[in-house]
Structure 1
Amino acid sequence: MTQPIPMVEIWRGDLLESQHLGHAVVCDSSGNVVEAWGDDEKVIYPRSSCKMLQALPLIESGAADAYGLTPEQLALSCASHKGAAIHTDRVQVWLDTLGLQVSDFRCGPQKPSDKDAHEALIRAGKQPCQIHNNCSGKHSGFLTLNKHLGAGQDYVEVDHPVQRAARAAFEEMTGETAEFYGIDGCSAPNFSTTVSGLARAMARMAKPTGSDARAKASTRLVDAMRAHPDLVAGEGRACTELMRAMDGKVAIKTGAEAVFVAILPEQGLGMALKIVDGGTRAAEAAIAGLLVKYGALDANHPMAKKRLHGPITNWNGLITGHMRLSPGFIQL
């Protein structure tokens, strides 16, 4: 099948009001497709779901050890955080350790999505800066690698040594040559892959083979994410809540435009999905469904129910509808 399939339904009363279509793939660590829905060869941008792959050179190069990076910092290098104090305070310490300034970032300023952090800025009469950018952890990793390499300051340029290293790791892990690249929201290049290529990369991170630098780097990043789900996203976010619900056994990561991936070390599996209309609610429901199907997530856990069913409420607090996985996708 080369067309997207219905994955998530939105019901209001007895009427199917909306449908979200998508593609999804589950791979094993040998790179084999275990199960697929829609078009497993659909070319997509993974957006922030691939931050773990972009962070591999940070460890493989020796930069992480040279600057004494902690598991918390490695988790932040994979994060799309809310700009809460728990995130920005750690990023600032990271910058101080490197002897760098916020102006050395190339990710751009962003209003924090954390309510307390946003209100604190307003009360202080301050504007958001680059440290509040949800990708400032990833960019701290880029800056660390850049300082280790002694390269130029514009580390987000596609031909810069930092991005060449990130692209090489990305292509090696997906097993594909990136046909396209686009500029992400944080100004770094984002390289294309198929949905199956992205799932393959996640499976390789779930069960690395050998004892080389790539295997060790993969394990360290996945372990850091599983140990610090609060740093990977933040309170109320799907990545944090679902990783907590799985007791740190699985690492998951969302990306803009409704991409989601999962790394399941115990099962030796990687998952990737893309909702074609970019709907975040559908991507969260679909990844929760896949995690339940493969035994990583309890369908009755409140955080699973929140993503799988809703409920959908109105401004008066009344339940007006519900979500459910489409019968042709997953039946739980």
Structure 2
Amino acid sequence: MTNPVPMAEIWRGPILESVHLGHAVICDDTGQIVEAWGDPQAIVLPRSSSKMIQALPLLTSGAAKAAGLGGEHLALACASHNAAAIHIDRVQAWLDHIGKADDDFRCGPQEPRDIEIRDAMIREGRAPCRIHNNCSGKHAGFLTLSDHLGAGPDYVDPDHPVQMACKTAFEDVTGEESPGFGIDGCSAPNFATSLHGMARAMAFFAAARDGAGTQQTAAAALVQAMVTYPELVAGEGRACTELMRAMDGRVALKTGAEAFFIAIIPERKLGVALKITDGGTRGAECAIAAILVRLGLLDANHPAARKFLNAPIRNFAGLETGSIRPAAAFAA
């Protein structure tokens, strides 16, 4: 087994203070590794970076078409959103459309990441609901699929038809039998694979074309939704949203908990999967930005890139005390 390698460094003045180690794989549409760091065979839980895979059965089953879902719905199905008004208003409208309510969700209530919504709720004495969960768009998709399949309400049960469909899709696109699963923060199963398998899956999405079969058509629609509505996939100030905007829709990005990140690059038919082993999100954001710069897709001097790559670290007085930057060997 290959050890993780340095990917992101935290400097305080002239002193290297911290280092984030990780693994990363760039894969082409034939399933072959183009470039790798660390251990491509490391077993990982991709967490929310797998949401576009979990959304595949929503389309391939015909549920999305039957429910009249559009691009905004598909972007939300792939989202880890801030629970800003643009997110919760749309998810609520989706629930209303399919005749469901907040209590039908199986994800737990979550305090909104959006400060404006959070502060308004505090002032009004309102507790967070399930719709505020960052995964509520994915769960709206699960509910839509469950109804279409005529299945029961406990759609996060690993043996439920919704999750069985998700597992089948996951193993199809990763090209590997999953060795198991963990329960995600939103209560749904999150299937494990190798890092190579996850990069292979993202390369499948990158190469997918409308009209080239049911699964490819579904994958292409999900990628298009993500790059068309980057603000729905995450939200203002978030790496996914800001970096997708910086690349003018050429790349779809998705973060996952515990410092996972993927990139889908249609013009090059490449998929990227990245895991920082200490779970530090700042390391994953820096590392994915470095890979995108390395591939010539992201301008390192773009204001959005500068927030995550070679980004200044400031103290409470506003003084620049250091920076986060890609490790020298990784950035070379």
- TM range, smaller chain: over 0.9
Please give the alpha-carbon distance, in whole angstroms, between the structure 2 residues aligned to 1:196 and 1:298.
26
Could you tell me how far 1:190 is from its partner in structure 2? Answer: 0.3
What TM-score results when the alignment is normalised by the length of structure 1? 0.98
Q: Give the match for residue 329 of structure 1.
A: 330
The equivalent of 1:294 in structure 2 is: 295
Paired residue type of 1:113 = R
Separation of aligned partners in 1, 2:75 and 2:158:
24
Aligned equivalents of 2:48, 2:324: Cα separation in 1: 25
Q: Corresponding residue for 1:145?
A: 145
The residue aligned with 2:191 is: 191
Deviation digits for residues 145-200 of structure 1 (CA, Å, limit 9, x no counterpart): 00100101000000000000000000110011110200000000000011111000
Per-residue deviation, 1:122:
1.4
1:128 match: 128
Residue of structure 1 equivalent to 2:12? 12
Partner of 1:240, secondary structure, is helix
What is residue 284 of structure 1 aligned with on the other side?
A: 285
- Counterpart amino acid of residue 21 in structure 2: L
- When structure 1 is superposed on structure 2, of 1-10 and 192-201 the one drifting more is 1-10
The answer to whether the 8 A contact 1:29-1:208 is kept is no
Residue 117 of structure 1: aligned partner: 117
Partners of 1:207 and 1:292 in 2: CA distance: 21
CA deviation after TM superposition for structure 1 residue 208, in Å: 1.9
Alpha-carbon deviations, 1:209-261, whole Å to 9, x = none?
67110000000000000000000000000000000001111100000000000
Please give the residue correspondences for 1:88-99 in structure 2 after superposition, counting only pairs within 5 Å: 88-99=88-99
The equivalences for 1:258-269 within 5 A come to: 258-269=259-270
Aligned position for 2:240: 239
Of stretches 320-329 and 31-40 in structure 1, the one that deviates more from structure 2 is 320-329
Question: In structure 2, what residue type is equivalent to 1:280?
Answer: T
Match of 2:46 in 1: 46
Further displaced range: 127-136 or 114-123: 114-123
Runs (4 or more) in structure 1 with deviation over 4 Å come to none
Aligned partner letter, 1:248: G
Unaligned runs of 5+ in 1: none
Partners in 2 of 1:186 and 1:134 — Cα distance? 8
CA–CA distance in structure 2, aligned partners of residues 14 and 119 of structure 1: 39
Residue of structure 2 equivalent to 1:159:
159
Alpha-carbon shift at residue 123 of structure 1 (Å): 2.1
Q: CA deviation at 1:73?
A: 0.4
1:3 aligns with 2:26: no
Choose 100-109 or 320-329, whichever is displaced more.
320-329
Tell me, in whole angstroms, the C-alpha distance in 2 between the residues paired with 1:306 and 1:126: 33
- Rounded Cα–Cα distance in structure 1 between residues aligned with 2:309 and 2:100: 43
Q: In the aligned structure 2, how far is the partner of 1:311 from the partner of 1:303?
A: 13
Q: Name the CA distance, whole Å, in 1 between partners of 2:216 and 2:109.
A: 34
Deviates more, 1:118-127 or 1:28-37: 118-127
Counting matched residue pairs gives 331
Q: Distance in 2 between matches of 1:61 and 1:299?
A: 41
Alignment check: 8 A CA contact 1:203 1:270 kept: yes
Q: Report the equivalent of 1:25.
A: 25
* Secondary structure at the counterpart of residue 330 of structure 2: coil
Q: CA deviation at 1:14?
A: 1.1
Letter of the 1:272 partner, please give it.
A
In structure 1, give the amino acid aligned to 2:221: R
- Mapped to 2, the partners of 1:250 and 1:327 lie a distance apart of 24
State the one-letter code of the partner of 1:313: R
Q: Could you give the per-residue CA deviations for residues 23-65 of structure 1, whole angstroms, max 9, x where no partner exists? A: 0000001100000000000001000000000000000000000
Query: SS at the partner of 2:17?
Result: strand
What secondary structure does 1:312 align onto? strand
Take 1:54 and 1:296, find their aligned partners in 2: how far apart are those partners?
27
Residues 203-218 of structure 1 mapped to structure 2, 5 A cutoff: 203-208=203-208, 211-218=212-219
Tell me the C-alpha RMSD between the 2 structures.
Answer: 0.9
Using the TM superposition, give the Cα deviation of residue 327 of structure 1 relative to its aligned residue in structure 2, in angstroms.
Answer: 1.4
- 3-state SS in 1 of match to 2:278: coil
Specify the code of the residue in structure 1 equivalent to 2:93: V
Q: Give 1:317's aligned residue.
A: 318
Determine what percentage of the aligned residue pairs are the same residue: 63
